[in-house]
Amino acid sequence: MKVNKEELLTKCIQIIDEKLENIQQAINGYQQDLNSETKSSAGDKHETGRAMLQLEMEKLGQQYQTVLSQKDILRKIDVSYKEKVQLGSLVLANGFYYFLASSVGQVKFNNKIIMVVSVNSPIGQILLGKQQEDVFAFNGKQFKIEEIK
């Protein structure tokens, strides 16, 4: 397995930073819209528009906090090798790569597709504590752990 976990972790943090920046830009855009809303002759329509903007800003605020907590998890990861799968492990099983970190999703890294998953995800829960050569079932398929890094 020729994947540098430190570089992979850095890539995941960059992806999270981009998400945070995009959410912040959306919040700023809604804030500008909210500030520029002028009172029209149709008062109810104006108030409804403001309420919808505020709701969207609240949703984005919640998303921002969720993504921020993902970044906190990533920052705390110890990527040193352990024999058993745990947070920070990179697992190769049946040709598929899984990095137990945070729910970042599919990441293309060094010409490989790596699923970056939370330890609380269904696959993360199954992998936790497993060792090389262990066999497990996921989505009706049998997997064998080829390597843990």
- Around 27, how many Cα atoms within 13 Å sit in the side-chain half-sphere? 15
pLDDT above 70 covers a percentage of the chain that reads 93
Reported as a pLDDT band with limits 50, 70 and 90, residue 3 is confident
Please name which of 51, 23, 19 lies closest in space to residue 37, comparing C-alpha atoms: 51
Q: What is the C-alpha separation between 126 and 148, in angstroms, rounded?
A: 14
The greatest distance separating any two alpha carbons of the chain, rounded to the nearest whole angstrom, comes to 71
Please determine, for residue 50, whether its predicted confidence score (pLDDT) is greater than 90: no
Please name which of 36, 134, 140, 148 lies closest in space to residue 97, comparing C-alpha atoms: 148
| pLDDT for res 43 | 58
What's the whole-number mean pLDDT along residues 104-124? Answer: 95
| pLDDT for res 44 | 62
User: What does pLDDT average to over the chain?
Assistant: 91
Q: Where are the domains of the chain?
A: 5-75, 90-148
| pLDDT for res 46 | 62
Two tokens, residue 98: 């899984």
Please name which of 106, 112, 148 lies closest in space to residue 128, comparing C-alpha atoms: 148
Q: What is the C-alpha separation between 50 and 119, in angstroms, rounded?
A: 39
Q: How many helices (H) and strands (E) does the chain have?
A: 3, 6
* Distance of alpha carbon 106 from the chain centroid: 9
CB contact at 8 A, 90 and 1: yes
